[in-house]
């Protein structure tokens, strides 16, 4: 049930300073004034209503920025009580703007500017004042803009800035919002396409790397695409939010006599923060014989052919904490060296040198034999169900997306013979670019189009609803979706065969109930023949700025495949603190027969994973408990010390997991005790294989591994406690 608050009520005891009658009178007066001023000209079009809007801050949950463009004179945006503050509306495309109307609440701006931009970075002032009297201001301005910003520099009251409505008028550019949306189109400025004849490829990729090497929480997003052919003497170094892909149907269509490199020079040889980058669909013959891929979480290595060895450690063998390989062939030996954990699926390797804490393999030809805990190899001969990630490729001169077919009991790469799957032309995709509204995305989906998100950051004031079976939603270059006003970023209906891939969902400043929901709560439709898959879809709460969510991902649909995700409540960066980036739960699984392959979930305030569905399976799990728990009381779970990293509900009768690890690093209070990393009902159908818990340098301790089973971690030795089989 929605409860409507009076506009002044959200400030506690602050009285409502304008009656509804007054608002209506002012609104009518403004309308008449606008009519008189423009009677001699064609009436301008309201461009801003329900468009994406962002602001420097919000006073509270009841006054989000979206209220200023909702067409309702009874709702408002209000900011924090400090200077300066701003609110920006994205018109979706560059328009000829002729007028801005500001309907101030009592807390108005005495001094402010109205600014225009075409790129949301470079701004031109179109109006400024230091003597505003508030009320309704109709400003005749002129210029072309996609982004229009009100930038307040001096408040008239002790409160923040507050607008009932922020309206932008101008020419609609011939657009027809109610008309059909066209599929296809260009891939935008941050997709860089190369062929072997492209001049100065090395210089171009070096320039992007220099920008992205240490931009851990920056705004840059890039996709590097290489057309089929042979490229000599290249070393493509990948920084943050940079993806590289070949545009052939198979990896061997695009050959590098050179390297694709991830190292950790930017972080003094420590690779534990080499997040958010990827390599896909290339054949590489490394110059030195070994390609270096020293990554941490959210850095998939898919559909690659390495004609040599693969080194997973940084130069100097500093710390490393990864990682994920799928559908790849490494002719030589894989050397993890300092890598703490790794998961490899449906691949082929020429050898594997060592293991630190937790190395897991499923469906991997050449994988080391099962031997956990010494050495800690967990090896499954096959992957029960898998479907490789969709990818963009060139068919002649035409872009298409290849959607690989589902495999059962998979082993080895999917592309050894003729790739099995479906090709979808680009004209069946709406090619989204930053600034597009959620309304447009939903209209495209309702028309039957798939979605291709080009690299960039997308602010959503409404949920993107994927309701059609077999829809493909594919992101390039770590396209990032941010819910601005407490909505869920994306919901998938309980239908067959939706494919979500290649997205980063970043929590907004206003708490969302979730970032992603797959399926309908309580529904148990059988999707075994054609499951929904979630691949390389990552969640972040805080780090780039304040963010809050109750449960990051919720999976309700039966048979869903979760194939490689990192769901992360930030432990460093901006907007980080026990309550600042509050997020109680990472992943909640309510669906039955859900399979997770490569599950990374970290630092949530309560349970990182809650598994409520029947017959769930997880192959590889990596976790760290929240570093910033202030004390023992903050994580007390009834009579249990600490919330388990991975909890199977007491009602579940059948569940199975292989190769699961949880680490604690309670930096705020090293004396914290964690009863166990894993919690599950003791029933014949609930089985776990190869579990471990680790105390990092003695910063907190585990009493047990799972329930009351398994020895305690002790001292500062950072030696895992293990359980080979449970119960």
Q: Give how far the C-alpha of residue 136 lies from the chain's centroid of Cα atoms, to the nearest Å.
A: 39
Number of continuous H segments (helices) and E segments (strands) in the chain: 3, 54
- 624 labelled catalytic: yes
Cα(648)–Cα(224) distance, integer angstroms: 41
Contact assessment for residue 583 and residue 543, using Cβ atoms and an 8 Å cutoff:
no
**Is the preceding omega at residue 375 within 30 degrees of 0, hence cis?**
yes
Cα(213)–Cα(209) distance, integer angstroms: 5
Give the three-state DSSP class for 669: coil
Distances (CA, A) of 436 to 32, 388, 426, 459, 460: 32, 28, 18, 8, 9
Contact assessment for residue 630 and residue 578, using Cβ atoms and an 8 Å cutoff:
yes
Q: How many CB atoms lie within 10 A of CB 446?
A: 12
Contact assessment for residue 608 and residue 586, using Cβ atoms and an 8 Å cutoff:
yes
Give the three-state DSSP class for 113: strand
Q: Pick the catalytic residue from 213, 408, 624, 656.
A: 624
Give the three-state DSSP class for 297: coil
Which residues touch 547 (CB under 8 Å, ≥6 apart)?
506, 507, 508, 509, 540, 541, 570, 575, 581, 583
Contact assessment for residue 92 and residue 108, using Cβ atoms and an 8 Å cutoff:
no
Cα(391)–Cα(245) distance, integer angstroms: 9
Residue whose C-alpha is closest to residue 310's, from 290, 329, 325: 290
Cα(166)–Cα(320) distance, integer angstroms: 49
Q: Are strands 136-155 and 124-129 parallel, antiparallel or unpaired?
A: unpaired
Q: Could you tell me what percentage of the chain is helix, strand and coil, using 3-state DSSP and rounding each to the nearest 5?
A: 10, 45, 45
Residues that are catalytic:
624
């Amino acid at each position: 049930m929605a409860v409507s608050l009076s506009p002044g009520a959200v400030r506690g005891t602050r009285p409502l300073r304008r009656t509804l009658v007054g608002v209506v009178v002012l609104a009518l007066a403004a309308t008449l004034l606008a009519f008189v001023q423009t009677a001699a000209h064609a009436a301008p079009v309201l461009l801003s209503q329900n468009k994406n809007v962002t602001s420097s801050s919000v006073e509270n949950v009841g006054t989000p920025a979206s209220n200023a463009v909702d067409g309702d004179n009874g709702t408002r945006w209000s900011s924090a009580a400090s200077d300066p503050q701003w609110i920006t509306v994205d018109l979706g495309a560059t328009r000829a703007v002729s007028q801005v109307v500001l309907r101030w609440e009592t807390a108005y701006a005495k001094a402010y500017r109205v600014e225009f931009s075409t790129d949301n970075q470079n701004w031109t002032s179109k109006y400024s004042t230091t003597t505003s009297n508030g009320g309704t201001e109709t400003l005749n301005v002129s210029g072309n803009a996609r982004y229009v910003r009100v930038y307040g520099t001096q408040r008239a009251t002790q409160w923040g800035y507050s607008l009932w409505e922020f309206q932008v008028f101008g020419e609609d550019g011939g657009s027809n919002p109610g008309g059909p949306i066209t599929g296809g189109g260009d891939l935008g400025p941050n997709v860089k396409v190369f062929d072997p004849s492209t001049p100065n490829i090395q210089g171009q990729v070096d320039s992007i790397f220099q920008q992205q090497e240490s931009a851990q929480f920056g705004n840059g997003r890039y996709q590097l695409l290489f057309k089929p052919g042979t490229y000599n003497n290249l070393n493509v170094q990948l920084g943050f939010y940079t993806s590289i892909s070949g545009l052939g149907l198979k990896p061997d269509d695009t050959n590098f006599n050179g390297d694709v490199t991830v190292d950790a020079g930017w972080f003094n040889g420590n690779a534990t923060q080499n997040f958010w980058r990827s390599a896909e669909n290339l054949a590489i013959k490394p110059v030195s014989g070994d390609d270096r891929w020293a990554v941490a979480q959210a850095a998939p290595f898919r559909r690659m052919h390495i004609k040599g060895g693969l080194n997973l450690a940084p130069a100097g063998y500093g710390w490393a904490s990864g990682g994920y390989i799928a559908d790849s062939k490494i002719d030589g030996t894989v050397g993890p060296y300092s890598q703490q954990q790794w998961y490899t699926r449906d691949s082929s390797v020429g050898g594997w040198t060592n293991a630190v804490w937790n190395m897991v393999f499923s469906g991997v030809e050449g994988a080391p034999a099962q031997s956990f805990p010494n050495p800690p190899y967990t090896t499954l001969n096959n992957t029960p169900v898998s479907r490789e990630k969709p990818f963009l490729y060139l068919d002649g001169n035409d872009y298409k997306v290849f959607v690989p077919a589902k495999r059962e009991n998979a082993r080895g790469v999917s592309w050894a013979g003729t790739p099995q799957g479906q090709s979808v032309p680009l004209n069946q995709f709406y090619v989204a670019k930053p600034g597009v509204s959620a309304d447009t995305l939903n209209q495209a989906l309702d028309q039957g189009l798939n979605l291709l998100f080009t690299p960039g950051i997308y602010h959503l004031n409404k949920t993107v609803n994927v309701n059609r079976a077999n829809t493909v939603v594919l992101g390039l270059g770590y396209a990032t979706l941010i819910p601005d006003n407490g909505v869920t970023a994306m919901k998938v209906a309980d239908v067959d065969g939706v494919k979500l891939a290649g997205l980063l969902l970043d929590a907004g400043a206003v708490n969302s109930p979730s970032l992603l929901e797959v399926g309908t709560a309580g529904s148990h439709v059988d999707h075994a023949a054609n499951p929904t898959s979630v691949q390389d879809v990552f969640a972040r709460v805080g780090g780039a700025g304040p963010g809050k969510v109750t449960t990051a991902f919720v999976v309700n649909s039966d048979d869903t495949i979760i194939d490689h995700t990192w769901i992360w409540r930030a432990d460093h960066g901006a907007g980080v603190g026990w309550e600042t980036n509050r997020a109680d739960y990472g992943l909640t699984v309510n669906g039955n027969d859900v399979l997770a392959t490569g599950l990374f979930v970290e630092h949530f305030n309560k349970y990182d994973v809650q598994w409520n569905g029947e017959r769930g399976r997880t192959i590889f799990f990596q976790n760290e408990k929240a570093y910033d728990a202030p004390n023992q009381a903050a994580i007390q779970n009834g009579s249990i010390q600490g919330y388990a990293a991975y909890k199977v509900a007491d009602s579940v009768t059948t569940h199975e997991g292989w190769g699961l690890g949880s680490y604690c690093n309670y930096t705020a209070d090293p004396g914290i005790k964690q009863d166990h990393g894993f919690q599950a009902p003791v029933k014949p159908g609930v089985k776990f294989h190869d579990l471990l818990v680790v105390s990092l340098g003695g910063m907190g301790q585990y009493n047990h591994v799972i329930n009351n089973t398994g020895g305690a971690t002790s001292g500062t030795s950072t030696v895992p406690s293990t359980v080979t089989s449970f119960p």
